[in-house]
Amino acid sequence: MENHKVFFEDKGLVPYKECWDYQLGQFHEMTDRKKWNKLNPELEKATESRLIFCSHPHVYTLGKSGKEQNLLLTESELKFHGAEFYHINRGGDITYHGPGQIVGYPIFDLDFFFHDIHKFIDKLEDAIIATLSEYGIEAGRGPKGFTGVWIDWENPEKARKICAVGMHTSRWVTMHGFALNVNTNLDYYKHIIPCGIDDKAVTSIQAELGKQIDEQEVKDLLKSKIALELNIQEFA
């Protein structure tokens, strides 16, 4: 990863479409640069990875393999609840984003890490699991086919998801990412079948600990855990 810069941005609360367009711009800039480098190896231009943290106003997003019937609201009901809805190009089914949630979008050139998207997702999940451990929350992965980070997965009656994960890659460049529930209003999950799984609950750090959580503290911890898992010496 020598000479490969990884930039960090915290965009705060930002409309989903605005951040999606920004992601796409960064993603296409990187994939276009890699195409150019392949054709012009003697004039190669460096790529720059980027980790974005943010949160969004109420919005539901449906992945390319998802089912629209997992959104339980009509268009007028979406407006009533102050929420938006988007079809997007990540993997996975439907999920919710809203205030009190830390959304992470890693736009990474995996040429400088490893050519294994599943390993990359595992590393992100490990960072999230390690962050939750700092709050005394024991979390882990579900079995194959159930992405994200879960609590009490082995007990079907208590299993609950605390972080959703969904990625898209092209030319070994990643986009989309994860959504960790910190102080999230969990009532908004009642309007969907989260990730297409209709018999499992959703939770947050606040719900688990019974108190409001310092979101900046969680961001700082999570950023450092991601750096550790991906061997990032320093963010630019």
d(Cα 24, Cα 34) in Å, to the nearest integer?
A: 15
| Residue 178 forms part of a structural domain | yes
Q: Which domain holds residue 223?
A: 5-228
| Residue 69 forms part of a structural domain | yes
User: CATH number for the domain including 30?
Assistant: 3.30.930.10
* Range in 140-149, 174-183, 227-236 the model is least confident about: 140-149
| Residue 236 forms part of a structural domain | no
Convert the pLDDT of each residue in 4-27 to its tens digit. Answer: 899 999 999 999 999 999 999 999
Convert the pLDDT of each residue in 61-102 to its tens digit. Answer: 998 878 888 899 999 999 999 999 999 888 778 889 999 999
For the chain, the domain total comes to 1
| Residue 188 forms part of a structural domain | yes
CA atoms within 13 A on the CB side of 234: 3
| Residue 43 forms part of a structural domain | yes
| Residue 233 forms part of a structural domain | no
Q: What is the DSSP letter of 140?
A: B
| Residue 235 forms part of a structural domain | no
Q: Is 195 a catalytic residue?
A: yes
Convert the pLDDT of each residue in 104-127 to its tens digit. Answer: 999 999 999 999 999 999 999 999
Number of CB atoms found within 10 A of residue 52's CB? 21
Q: What is the pTM of this model?
A: 0.93
Convert the pLDDT of each residue in 190-226 to its tens digit. Answer: 998 865 565 578 999 999 999 999 999 999 999 999 9
- In the chain, where does DSSP find H-type helix? 16-39, 75-80, 117-133, 205-209, 215-229
Instruction: Label residue 1 by pLDDT band (50, 70, 90).
Output: very low
pLDDT higher than 70, residue 2: no
| Residue 161 forms part of a structural domain | yes
Two tokens, residue 202: 């959703």
